[in-house]
Amino acid sequence: MKIRYCWRCRTDVPMLDSEEGKIASKLLAEGFKESKRQRKHSPENFRKLLDYYKDLTGYEETNPNAIMHHFIDMYGPDCENCGKPYRTETATFCPKCGNKREI
Ligand SMILES: [Zn+2]
Ligand SMILES: [Zn+2]
């Protein structure tokens, strides 16, 4: 887990590394199964995922969908100039400070 800036949330959030992401994806899939079984979609069905995220980060997230875009692997490395992550692995400039990335 690492605190990184999220472009969608526009704030620093705890992001999961690839190992943690694998576990989170599995718990998310279980949540969807639970929703299917109960024939209703409720955040309670994703309790395991939300608890896992909380244990890991200390952050009480209530929206399972928010966790699913907080994977470190989904974004590029940190900008050399301002430290915010590039939006993608192949991005050529930083939208925050306009820094051109040397690839
Ligand atoms: Zn976010
Ligand atoms: Zn930057």
pLDDT value, residue 41: 84
Q: Which residues of 38-73 are buried (b: 16+ CB within 10 A; e: fewer)?
A: eeeeeeebbebbbebbeeebeeebeebeebeebbbe
pLDDT digits (tens, 9 = 90+) for 10-26: 999 999 999 999 999 99
Tell me, in angstroms, the distance from the centre of ligand 1 to residue 10's CA.
Answer: 7
Tokens in use for 7?
């472009």
Tell me, in angstroms, the distance from the centre of ligand 1 to residue 15's CA.
Answer: 9
Tell me, in angstroms, the distance from the centre of ligand 2 to residue 87's CA.
Answer: 10
Tokens in use for 79?
């900008």
pLDDT value, residue 103: 73
pLDDT value, residue 92: 95
pLDDT value, residue 13: 95
Mean pLDDT computed over 30-47 = 94
